[in-house]
Amino acid sequence: MKHPLETLMSAGGILLLAFFSCLLLPAPALTLDLAKKLIATFHLQDLNQLYTIIFCLWFLALGAIEYFVIRFIWRRWFSIDREG
């Protein structure tokens, strides 16, 4: 049976791992031409706003990937509730 707080723990785990990614992994850097094109496409104010959005998306994506990889490893090899 699933624990009732598993959904909340999933979201918290993703945010925590996103924070760790923020400290450990570099975000992608854009060329100036690509940055100007993205600013014009998304109607942003300046380069700071673009990089804020890029950093948030980058670190949340890395946190989600790390969370699901760790969860897979935990459930596959370390979980007590294994069948068989």
Enclosing domain of residue 71: 26-84
pTM more than 0.75: no
User: Within a domain: residue 5?
Assistant: no
What's the total number of domains in the chain?
A: 1
User: Within a domain: residue 16?
Assistant: no
Q: In the chain, helix, strand, coil percent, each to 5?
A: 75, 0, 25
What does each C-alpha distance from 2 to 31, 63, 77 come to in angstroms? Answer: 46, 22, 18
DSSP state of 68: H
Given a cut of 60, whether residue 35 has pLDDT beyond it is yes
- The alpha carbon of residue 70 and the mean position of all alpha carbons in its chain are separated, in whole angstroms, by 13
Given a cut of 60, whether residue 4 has pLDDT beyond it is yes
Beta carbons within 10 angstroms of residue 49's beta carbon? 12
Given a cut of 90, whether residue 74 has pLDDT beyond it is no
Using pLDDT thresholds of 50, 70 and 90, give the confidence band for residue 31.
Answer: very high
